[in-house]
Structure 1
Amino acid sequence: MRPADLAREHGISTQAIRNYERDGCLPPAERTPTGYRIYTELHASALRAYLTLVPAYGYATAGSVMTAVHAERLDEALTELDRGHAQLLRDRETLAAVREAVGHLTGGAIAGIGLPAPPGPRSVGEVAHRLGVTPATLRAWEAAGILTPARDRATGHRRYLPADVRDAELAHLLRRGGYLLNHIATVLRQVRTAGGSGEPAAALDAWQQRLTTRSLTMLTASARLDDYLTLRAGTPDRLDLKAT
């Protein structure tokens, strides 16, 4: 096969094929005496695996998996996939926590989000530490209309009351769900309004659909990678291919 043959199937450029080989996402291609690359069904299978891993796990993980496979570090490649599945499980648990939280928030409770809310006002640094973000992140959320902490009259410092911590927790979870700041601000305004649970419910339903889609994409990626590993294991002299 020529680079164009591989590229045509996926609607990508021949330069992309060469880049993938250079980066270790494809096995090294043999060359003709005149220097042209020779690709085989093995390379086509590797490309299918890589291009399905990308939407499932992201570019970085997809590249790490393929380069580990080509370096004969299969356990390392599988560990990368395991991390992706573990993150997906955490995201599902996060979504469940947000759903429970949204069901309670209009009543003023904080059930379902992280640890029990701290009593009394908290500083921006304390809330940032609680969430594992920077104070600058919280200030950015405030500028976007997501958070509305009061200020200490004497010092001018921000004072996060339990309701503000609740909002910060929910904002953090929605950010992990991929929502933009302006959308999160809308959701928080709805949550603060009695009876305004429709918008958060719709947002969480969309989040659920994205997680379902990602799960199915992971299944497809695993199948393509398994196809490649099976073909690779049965390819004679596959370790003797050398990049030139």
Structure 2
Amino acid sequence: MGRILQSGVRLRPIDLARRHGLSTQAVRNYEEAGILPPAGRTPTGYRTYTSLHAGALRAFLALVPGHGHQMATSIMRAVNKGAVDEAFRLIDESHVQLLDDRRTLQTVESALRGLRPITASGPGTASGTGTASGHPAASGPGATFIGPLAERLGIRPATLRKWERTGLLRPRRDPLTGYRVYDEADVRDARLAHQLRRGGYPLEQIAALISQMRAAGGLEPLESALRDWHGRLSVRGRAMLTGAAELEAYLRECG
């Protein structure tokens, strides 16, 4: 909408703000943050903007949906400082993150294909025989303690304890030591929770999904969440294309 501006046309902050549904304070904040190039000044000290500033604002607002506010800000700062290669590197980082998120989603889907419906199990016990470290070994196929499970997932034991408090996990306690024992179902739930957290899902939503899966004995709630995840990644990918087009237009205007 601002593309019809001629390069010599001077804009007041209110003119630039109205074109994008912003406040004049937001425009000033964007300038101070380096998202917009420095404004010109009238003899009386008032800010004036041009089509170049309008292009910068269009580029920034188009970058935000695909890259996020912080990354879009860093990209525009780099461009406005003349560090275009740095801006391209930041854009590459966002694309790498998007690719990593897609791979994470594929990993979750692969894990789901191997899941069995959760069934009730007996309390079980931990073996009283010692391991090489002197700790008792968890009994049952796939059973493990909090330290090895946290290490396997690349997270802290405190994270697993937090997930337990929110209902994501329900480990039993070894009757001899009081240690948490995670059986196969717990390990599976921890893996899924870890992957969904990487996908941006809040703990409360993940807990509800796993609870529904346990109650229903099926994966439909989780499969619905993954379809939504697919959709959000697609929207983000298209937003990156839109942002790239606006940034390219701005770079051409910058010369």
**TM-score > 0.5, shorter chain as reference:** yes
Aligned equivalent of 2:186, options 160, 164, 180: 164
Pairing 1:142–2:164 present? yes
Aligned equivalents of 1:70 and 1:96: distance in 2?
A: 38
**Displacement, 1:175?**
1.3
Pairing 1:216–2:216 present? no
Cross-structure match for 2:40: 30
Cross-structure match for 1:226: 248
**Displacement, 1:107?**
6.1
Does the residue aligned with 1:105 lie in a helix, a strand or coil?
A: coil
Gaps of 5+ in 1: 109-118, 234-244
Gaps of 5+ in 2: 1-10, 119-140
Pairing 1:204–2:226 present? yes
CA contact (8 A) 2:143 2:184 kept: yes
Does the residue aligned with 2:207 lie in a helix, a strand or coil?
A: helix
**Displacement, 1:186?**
2.7
Q: For residues 60-99 of structure 1, what are the structure 2 equivalents within 5 Å?
A: 60-99=70-109
Cross-structure match for 1:132: 154
**Displacement, 1:185?**
1.8
Provide the aligned length of Structure 1 versus Structure 2. 223
Between structure 1 and structure 2, the one with the greater Rg is 2
The percentage of aligned residue pairs carrying the same residue is 54
Aligned equivalents of 1:200 and 1:120: distance in 2?
A: 23
- Structure-1-length-normalised TM-score: 0.85
- Structure-2-length-normalised TM-score: 0.82
**Displacement, 1:193?**
5.8
**Displacement, 1:27?**
0.5
CA contact (8 A) 1:105 1:191 kept: no
Cross-structure match for 2:51: 41
RMSD, aligned CA: 1.7
Aligned equivalents of 1:23 and 1:229: distance in 2?
A: 19
Aligned equivalents of 2:216 and 2:115: distance in 1?
A: 9
